[in-house]
Structure 1
């Protein structure tokens, strides 16, 4: 059965009405293990290294955290707005009910992450790295994902809508039931067996036919 964006329900973060201002730099310095129910805005601190941090019910707005390492981080009920996490490492993170809106995620490392009810909207995720991640109820809408790596992921109710997946890598990830008709998948790396049941346009099918060694005559 065709699995479209309308059939994928992604829960939104559950945020309190009143959020207190939080100085994230102070959290780093004191090596606190948890931050919750707050807002971090207009914050810039690159190359941070934080281990085992738990982030709950937080709003990040206009935060710049490039080239930072968040080892085994847990994120629950968090919204990122206009943030820059380029080349940040969130490998092995657990992320539940989170939104990334208009964020710069170029080269972000989210390999081996567990994502549940996570949405990415209008984000630049070129060359992002999601390999070996476990994704359930995850949505990518109007995202730039050129050269992204989703190899050997576990996808359950994952949606790509109006995304650029040019030269993206999907080998070893089962794509059955997923609708790519609104996306640009030119040069996408994928195995034939992984495409079984995927929904593509006639033009996309002709391009993917090259994977089978077919020559399409128009």
Structure 2
């Protein structure tokens, strides 16, 4: 049985007990290649540009991704642990049962991607591009996503714990029912119509009142 995060019923990745380990995976990765059932650790993956790559039951540990593009790819039952994914391009991809633990994700491009059962803990994802992405069942905890682009995101069953969204763009995102009361949202870009149903703290409500044209004395 898969482990779950109770608050939003996120299913965690399921990996085989005996995984083939490799410390060198910088061979050219071809379009539509399948990478399955391996532990990739302590290496640099660089200068890769491929589409429709399938990663299934893969654990990346202490991996640096440099100048990497994996557009329109599939990630299923995948764990990224202590990895540097800065500026990687995973746009228009599908991520299902994927966990990010203590990763650097600055400037990551996940625009127009689909996320199902995602866990992000202790990560730094400032300046990320998640525009037009779709999220269903996700848990984000103690992570940084300052100055990121969340415009027109579709969100459902999202649990947020101490996430910093300061100065991020969120106009057009479906925020109804999302609880951001435990997050930092100072200076976010948002429209009045996007605030309907958003759950915030009293102090956050005062800060967001300017989008409703209110003057608080």
TM-score normalised per structure 2: 0.93
Structure of greater relative contact order (alpha carbons < 8 Å, 6+ residues apart): 1
Helix, strand or coil at the partner of 2:95? strand
5+ long unaligned stretches in structure 1: none
Stretch deviating more after TM superposition (78-87 or 187-196):
187-196
Q: 1:146 to 1:29 in 2, by over 3 A?
A: closer
Q: Which residue of 2 aligns with 1:191?
A: 191
Q: CA deviation at 1:6?
A: 4.9
Q: How does 1:12-161 map to 2 (within 5 A)?
A: 12-22=12-22, 23-26=24-27, 28=28, 33-161=33-161
Would you identify which runs of 4 or more consecutive aligned residues in structure 1 move more than 4 Å? 29-32
**CA shift in 2, pair 1:29/1:161, >3 Å:** closer
Q: Is contact 1:56-1:77 (8 Å) kept?
A: yes
> What number of residue pairs does the alignment pair up?
212
Query: How far apart are 1:198 and its partner, in Å?
Result: 1.1
- In structure 1, how many angstroms separate the alpha carbons of the residues matched to 2:202 and 2:29? 55
Q: Which is richer in strand?
A: 2
The alignment yields a C-alpha RMSD, in angstroms, of 1.5
* Distance 1:14-1:6 versus aligned 2 partners, 3 A rule: closer
Contact 1:48 1:65 in 2 (8 A): no
1:32 to partner: Cα distance: 6.8
SS at match of 1:44: strand
- Residues 87-135 of structure 1: CA deviation (Å, up to 9, x unaligned): 0100000110000000000000000001000111110000111100111
Q: 2:10, 2:117 within 8 Å by CA — same for their partners in 1?
A: yes
Determine the C-alpha separation between the residues in 2 that align with 1:31 and 1:199: 43
How far is 1:160 from its partner?
Answer: 2.1
Q: Are 1:67 and 1:86, in contact at CA under 8 Å, matched by a contact in 2?
A: no
- Give the structure with the larger helix fraction: 1
Tell me how far apart the structure 1 counterparts of residues 170 and 85 of structure 2 sit (CA, whole Å).
Answer: 23
Contact 1:145 1:163 in 2 (8 A): yes
Q: CA deviation at 1:29?
A: 5.4
Q: CA deviation at 1:25?
A: 1.7
CA distance in 2, matches of 1:31, 1:94: 15
The verdict on how the C-alpha distance between 1:138 and 1:29 changes in structure 2, with shifts beyond 3 A counting, is closer
